[in-house]
Structure 1
Amino acid sequence: MNNLKSINISHLIKQRLEELDMDMDRICNFFKYEREKVEEILQQESMDTEILLKWSKLLEYDFFRIYTQHLILYAPQSKISSGKLTKNRKTLLPTFRKNIYTKEIIDFILEEVDKKEKTKQQIIDEYRIPKTTLFKWIAKHKENF
């Protein structure tokens, strides 16, 4: 798993391009850009969401999920921001019932426990993962430990 704390999205896009062995002419046609413009985009650590959306479509990979996983690990939703601003005010933004832990997130966390990079308590505290959730993951994947 890539380092989710520091995301260089262009590096990940280049990695996907290599996996698919995609031709630069196809990329240029899709974006309607000259080769130099595409290469310039691929040098940036971050990019506009419209461009990232196009990359996601072209490469058939959800690059936004990388940022979502970052948020789950490093900025979990608090009770205040989960749809209840105050008793009298509510947000018009969509609210999400709970965090979605992907297989990659679970594997990342279990790997930290297995390699003793972090204690169970550190993971509970730092990532705000409920104790019961962490112990269920460990029990479910105990053959790996």
Structure 2
Amino acid sequence: MNQDSKEKFKHIHIGKYLKTKVEEQQISQDRICNFLNVTDDEIRTMYRSESIDTYLLLRWSKLLGYDFFRLHSYHLLLYSPLPKKHIADTSLPIFRKNTYTKEIIDLILEMVNTGQKTKKQIINEYGIPKTTLLAWISKQIDKTP
């Protein structure tokens, strides 16, 4: 994953991603309309929309077998400010640790390898623990022939 890949997650136009996936999978408009219980016009409107209702996005994800929510998760990992160290009182679930996908790990390692960011910058800007980053680097070195 290169800098261009990172930029894909900066501004997410979900309609464009939906349309691309539909075209790749060659899903018929009739199947989409039946599955989502919407009209052709509503589908075209969704393709032009930067965002859509989460229930609809869940239905699209099921139909196309692709986690469209992950695009937003990547954005949060790459561009959101670090949370405060204390845990606020909340009735919502608290996630114990970040989930780093292979794509995110590859992007982070590429930034380190190309000198785009230092290890210290990665740790500070993305909140990745030093031991985690060093483990990724070590595994990368172990895979090198």
Output the TM-score relative to the length of structure 1.
0.84
Alignment pair present for 1:40 and 2:45: yes
Higher RCO (C-alpha under 8 Å, 6+ residues apart): 2
Distance (Å, rounded) in 1 between the aligned partners of 2:126 and 2:32: 38
Offset from partner CA, 1:50-106 (integer Å, 9 cap, x none):
1111111111111112212222232344322xxx32xxxx31111111111111110
Distance (Å, rounded) in 2 between the aligned partners of 1:114 and 1:27: 43
Q: Partner residue of 1:120? A: 119
Q: CA deviation at 1:115?
A: 2.6
Query: What SS does the aligned partner of 1:42 have?
Result: helix
Amino acid at match of 1:72: L
Q: Partner residue of 1:20? A: 25
Structure 1 residues 27-66: aligned runs within 5 Å: 27-66=32-71
Q: Number of residues paired by the alignment?
A: 138
Instruction: Go from structure 1 to structure 2 and tell me whether the alpha carbon gap of 1:115 and 1:10 turns closer, same or farther (over 3 Å shift).
Output: farther
Q: CA deviation at 1:128?
A: 1.4
Distance (Å, rounded) in 2 between the aligned partners of 1:120 and 1:5: 22
Q: CA deviation at 1:117?
A: 2.2
5+ residue gaps, structure 2: none
Distance (Å, rounded) in 2 between the aligned partners of 1:79 and 1:121: 18
Q: CA deviation at 1:48?
A: 1.2
5+ residue gaps, structure 1: none
Q: CA deviation at 1:121?
A: 2.0
Query: What SS does the aligned partner of 2:41 have?
Result: helix
How high is the sequence identity, in percent, across the aligned residues?
A: 50
